């Protein structure tokens, strides 16, 4: 037995629709999914690159850029050897990347003091996000190598993802959708 077909337009959510559901729009994701150049971080040409930098690496570009470009590049903080940046393609609201300034692929490639400072940065930013966004937990991860899922395999970086009760639901699993309630620029302002 076949279901009667509605004559109402598909984009109207009517009582006749046998599978009504809400629509979540995330138009900024389309360019990224399609590999559009517009999805890439804005191009800021540093006056000088760090030694060993990969000019195609957005983390190297952000590390070498002058501080007046921090907002454009979503850089929240930098030190003599580390960088904290808002993830342009977040898993969840408040998703940050914590990276060394230098282009290094593996943990063994880092000096001990740089590795210790990166860990200190992770702790500091957990505290800041907990205070400013009221996060109640965190996922912190590091993907080493392309086969491990590293999007930038030559420049290691930690993902710092804040969590709240009830934020993990069926959306990512069933619909392949992430719900982000805050614009990236607003997040930058809140955490800066």
Nearest 5 degrees, angle CA 186-CA 188-CA 192?
Answer: 125
**In this structure, what CATH number is given to the domain that contains residue 82?**
3.30.428.10
Check residue 189 and give its pLDDT: 86
Range of the domain at 57: 28-191
Rounded to two decimals, the pTM is 0.74
Is residue 116 in some structural domain?
A: yes
Q: Is residue 4 part of a domain?
A: no
Is residue 169 in some structural domain?
yes
100, 81 Cβ separation under 8 angstroms? yes
- Residue 14 domain flag: no
What pLDDT does residue 94 have?
92
Distances (CA, A) of 134 to 3, 120, 149, 164, 187: 47, 20, 29, 8, 13
Q: Taking the CA atoms of the chain, what radius of gyration do you get in angstroms?
A: 20
Instruction: Give φ, ψ of 129 to 5 degrees.
Output: -65, -40
Q: In DSSP terms, which residues pair with 99 in a beta bridge?
A: 83
**pLDDT averaged per 10 residues, the chain (length 192):** 44 49 57 64 85 94 96 95 93 92 96 97 98 94 90 93 76 56 79 87
For the chain, what is the domain count? 1
Residue 45 lies in a domain: yes
- Residue 49 lies inside a defined structural domain of this protein: yes
Of 95, 96, 94, give the one whose Cα is nearest residue 85. Answer: 96
Phi-psi domain of 9 (left: phi exceeds 0; alpha: psi -120 through 50; beta: other):
beta
Q: Is residue 18 part of a domain?
A: no
- Give domain status of residue 9, yes or no: no
Instruction: Give the position of tokens 């009504």.
Output: 20
């Amino acid at each position: 037995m076949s279901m009667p077909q509605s004559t109402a337009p598909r984009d109207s959510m009517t009582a006749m629709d046998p599978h009504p559901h809400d629509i979540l729009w995330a138009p900024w994701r389309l360019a990224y999914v399609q590999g559009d150049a517009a999805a890439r971080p804005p191009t800021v040409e540093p006056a000088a690159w760090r030694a060993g930098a990969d000019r195609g690496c957005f983390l190297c570009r952000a590390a070498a850029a002058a501080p007046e470009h921090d907002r454009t590049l979503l850089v929240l903080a930098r030190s003599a050897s580390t960088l904290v940046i808002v993830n342009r393609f977040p898993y969840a609201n408040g998703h940050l990347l914590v990276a060394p300034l230098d282009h290094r692929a593996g943990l063994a490639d880092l000096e001990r003091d740089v590795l210790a400072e990166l860990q200190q940065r992770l702790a500091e930013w957990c505290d800041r996000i907990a205070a400013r966004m009221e996060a109640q937990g965190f996922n912190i991860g590091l993907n080493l190598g392309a086969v491990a899922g590293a999007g930038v395999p030559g420049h290691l970086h930690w993902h710092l993802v804040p969590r709240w009760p009830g934020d993990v639901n069926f959306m990512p699993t069933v619909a392949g959708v992430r719900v982000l309630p805050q614009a990236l620029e607003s997040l930058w302002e809140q955490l800066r």
